[in-house]
Structure 1
Amino acid sequence: MTQFAGKTAFVTGAANGIGRATAVAFAREKAAVVLADINERGNEETARLIRDSGGRAVTVHCDVREEDDVRAAVRRAVEEFGRLDIAFNNAGRETSLGPLDALNVDDFNGVMDVNVKSAFLCMKYEIPHMLENGGGAIVNTSSGAGVIGIKNQAAYSAAKHAVIGLTRSAALDYADRGVRINAVCPGIIATDMMQRVSGGTAEGRAEMLAEEPIGRFGRPEEIASAVLWLCSDSAGFAIGHALVMDGGHTIH
């Protein structure tokens, strides 16, 4: 379990859920991990989990909607560990449920900023450092909602579709320069976001569970495994791929 020894991984949305699970998994594989989030308490807890297991991690406060924050966070990664090899651009947010005409413009802009603009900003500042090292691997978090339409989630689905388009175009820009860029598309995963979308009720959870052909929610660690594979040498021929991990939700 040392496939990322000597490498530095940068993870946004690292304070909980999929981001935390993936950061811990990178550290387990001996990567040095830079944890970026606005949730400082959660971010420090992720760092503690890594350090208590003998890993290396630093935290950085980063609002992924703000260019200066993203630039500074990526610079901190390079200053701290000397290089940047891997990035998991995972920060995201949901939107309120309802038909499109009921969608608040500020909410629409907010979900686009956190899910799409952030991926653009992160890649803009990650890629030059990777090129300096001769290459690297980037994974952006899309969603099952990025490959199908979801009723009452027009803004979220549009944002996650956009992440895939951004990923695929950027992947072609750098495929011959050693930077591989892919996306992961989680289904309904047992995270704080799922709790919010379900309303935190047993009825809401049951309604969401009924959408999963596999009969259960996904685990953050399962998505982490997919991200690590996409960043590994084993996925060296994967370029611009959107890897769906959703228990069959998008095909049933």
Structure 2
Amino acid sequence: MKAFCFVLLLVLAGAASGTIEKRTVGGQTCGKARQYHVEIEAKTGGKTCGGSLLNTRWVITASHCAEQIVTVKVGINVDKSLKSKVKSFFKGEPKENKQVIEVAKQFTFKGEEEQAHDIMLIRLNQDVSPKLPQINLPSSECTRPQPNQQVQIGGWGAKKKAKKPKNMMCASVEMIECNENDKPDSKYHSDENAVMCAFKPGVETCFGDGGSAVEYNNVLHGIVVNKPVDDCEGRIVMLDICRYKDWITKTMQDN
């Protein structure tokens, strides 16, 4: 039994140490960053996306990531103590950290003419632990990052659907001007007041990165909405959280 426990501790310690590897969204593992990251898996179709935990009850992601029954997993990138890792190994993760969410609890933003935008709030069935890391929204004086400024992206995106990277990857990219092809899927409304773009040579968003957060000054400033969503893209297209901040606050208050 002692030998087994020793081996288990070695395995868990190895899992906790990130290694630098060049992959889909950059050349470095996230380490302790992005612990608010959420994984969203569609019930049908094999679609996987990222999202962000805003508080104990709400997740934000891209609309194309859901609009059907989905499984939402929180706390998947949380930096745990060795004691917590051993406990999770034997007892499993808390049930509330993996929830199946019906369409009725998914809220897509719609404009004045009821045009859907590629941004969604998901209301969890039950509160998760307040100890789980969350990401903050911008202040009331919200302004989008400007061209040449650096923003941070990250996710578990993979070149192939069947091969998820071992570690979550993070990268900094530079804001750029969008061109006419930089927009969400044609199913969703798009305008220059909502869409932002970024680029850095060698950095891509790939399958599984849709809906993931774009950080600027350590707060949530964008949601990745690249299309087609299953391809890898060097030019990163995102929606500007400043455009939707009032809707986010009101939706959470009213539901």
Is TM more than 0.5 here? no
**Which structure shows the bigger proportion of residues in helix conformation?**
1
TM-score bracket for the superposition, by shorter chain length: under 0.3
| Relative contact order higher in (CA < 8 Å, ≥ 6 apart) | 2
**Which structure shows the bigger proportion of residues in strand conformation?**
2
